A and B are shown apart, each in its own frame.
Chain A
Amino acid sequence: MFLNPWSVALCLLSLAALFLVGIAGRTALSVLRYWDPASDGPRQIRLENETWLSSTLVQYALGFQILSLVLFTSAADNFSQVISGAMCATGALTANPFGLPALYLKLVGAFFYGFWIVLHYLDISSERYPLLKTKYIFLVCLLPLLIVDAITQTLYIANLKPDIITSCCAVVFGEGGGSDGNLLGIVPQDKVLIAFYCLAALLATCGHFLFRKLMMPLLLVNGVLWLCFIGLSFVAITTVFSSYVYAMPYHHCPFCILKPEYGYIGFLMYGTMLPAGFFGIASALVCLIPGRLGLDNVIGRFQKSAVLLSSIMLMLFVTIVSYHYVIYRFLGGER
């Protein structure tokens, strides 16, 4: 189904990102090969200049990747109007085996580009560029990810057939056990809720202590907890919170909340949860950078701001997802 403006836009975004990261990757290879901090020859000056280009290109690619993530869910929602049986993005994404992997790849890709940019900012804060080789090896590794992303997306679009019957979100995420398309199985709502709020409280406590004093073991634990929290949040949004947004007990869907009829509340949810998770994980990952590189102060400063940002975003996220739940459960519903 390439002849559709959404498919065209998705392909265009992928091509643009591939083009930019491809050029950045070429710079990465020449830096890895010829970089010599002791030299002041023309090649070294050219390479120094090109490092600016590559960082700008990856930042653009990150922007495009985030845009592509939003576009992909909107496109899937739009495709669902054409595909038999699909009523929202869930149906369109499960219409063939490439839809969900393409979405996950885009999500993971956005996190990886973000980590690269963090690495880059830490690196350029020192005049000796201590992380130069690490960040360019990382950049070369990003390229296959982007290619796999583009291929999966192309396969998804190519295999979309309007006449193949798929399932709507009511079946895929529904509670009716035994349906062969159920993505989440039967998840007990109370347990998910308890786990969600306990983990959120734990993360807030960790954030509080870390903001007062940075401790490496706690930072690592915090990072792992954030990783779990992202997964749990998707489950909690799908199985519990979304149905309160729709005001329909049997409608569980992580995509319909992105629609205008629900005030785009899904964008607010994911727009706070994903950056919170990103900063939470990034603050732990930078612990792995060896201490002898003279970046201690910079890393410490970054970790403090990352911990603060993730805690603020966490509070916003918990408030936004709980809004409809609290209104229905404790305040007697909307009037």
Chain B
Amino acid sequence: MVVFAAVIFLLASFQMTTKALTVAAGESLSYAPEILIQKMKAGRQESIPVNYMEKLTGIFGIRSITPRVWGYYFHEISGANFTILGLDPSAMPLGDQLSRAIDSGNSPGTHETVVGEGARSALAGSGSSLFSLFRPDLTLKSFTIVGTFKPETDLLTYDSLFMPLGDARDLFALSDDMVTDLCVTVANPKEVSTIAKKIASLLPDTRVVTREQVQKTYQAVFGWRSGFASICLLTALTSFIIFAWDKASGLTPEEKKEISVLKIVGWQTSDILTLRFWEAVIVSLVAFLVGYTLAYVHVAFFDATLFRPIMLGWSVLHPALRLIPSVDLSEFILVLCLTVVPYLAATVIPAWRSAIIRADSALN
């Protein structure tokens, strides 16, 4: 039963981690712009001119278009890739709500930045709030940390540096009329796909990504990884099932005697089968409850330490986000089907073999 509980623990932990991460990604993305426009050239993304915004003014339903600089900065000292996000908070419809994502400090002004928790510890380990980054020509650009993001947004902001648009352009040596992408917010969520189609036809050299697509991609990736992990864990489950089958098949002389005595006192084959069925149900349910509870503790209190690297990817700075496992009936049934069903299927035939022992067999 301990082995069974361990297998259930592994599977349930994976499932809960996936679910918690999907929920976390969904929540973090709920403030993301509805549509992103990126310019493509030769199949690769390149900078988009800011004047592309003017071509979209005729589309009815767009609430605002915000130019954004979004890039990665490799920090040699910590060996981490930072996500640099440069935009003008006042230009976004929810820009005034940015302070809700900032744990302490203010929105950044010129030469100022708001950083994620991971980036802060990598950059300002000495306790200073001043640091410098290299421009492409290796000249230094200095920044002051004026705030950090809230831990709830860690999945997206853990390795991020948020700064004004001008500073980000300066850091990446982008010219003043260029940005990396345009964020479009739409007044009516039902119009997103129609507006996305219109943008795609007006700007044929761009890639138009909707928030829904990003969200589904997250879910697909987490689902794929967790499916892959489930298949790996199935090998553990299979070996356990073989073990259970083997154990249930080999009856000890005491067990044989017990069944013979039961038959002598009037038990039928069907009674013994029923008894065996309830025995298997109790064993698997106890193991299931123990395994599931342990998995809950593992995810809720230890932040799924065992599996987080697999689920979150290969970045050096892993977000230390708090996972909130949700106990959902359908997830419960899923883990039950993955573990208890094979166990029951594997023990039914050995149970029958033991039930058909003749009443006189132990007396010989």
Contacts and interface: CB of A to CB of B under 8 A. Distances in A.
B15 A5 contact: yes
B333 to A, nearest CB: 6
B273 A5 contact: no
Contact of A5 (B213, B334, B351): B334
B338 A12 contact: yes
Nearest to B351: A56
B234 interface: yes
Contacts of A82: 216, 219-220, 223
Given A49-B269, A52-B269, A81-B219, A5 B230 contact: yes
A19 interface: yes
Contacts, number: 99
Interface string A41-57: 00000000100110011
- Range for the number of chain B residues in contact with chain A: 35 or more
B301 interface: no
Interface in A25-48: none
A16 interface: yes
B216 A78 contact: no
A264 B223 CA distance: 24
Interface class of chain B by DSSP: helix
Given A9-B338, A16-B345, A52-B269, A3 B330 contact: no
- Range for the number of chain A residues in contact with chain B: 35 or more
B74 interface: no
Contact of B342 (A3, A16, A49, A70): A16
Contact of A53 (B18, B341, B344, B349): B349
Contacts of B213: 84
A56 B227 contact: no
A151 to B, nearest CB: 19
A52 B333 CA distance: 29
A74 B348 contact: no
Given A9-B334, A52-B356, 10 more contacts: A8-B227, A52-B352, A56-B273, A60-B344, A67-B341, A74-B333, A81-B216, A82-B223, A84-B212, A260-B328
Interface of B: 14-15, 18, 22, 212-213, 216, 219-220, 223-224, 226-228, 230-231, 234, 269-270, 273, 277, 328-330, 333-334, 336-338, 341-342, 344-345, 348-349, 351-352, 355-356
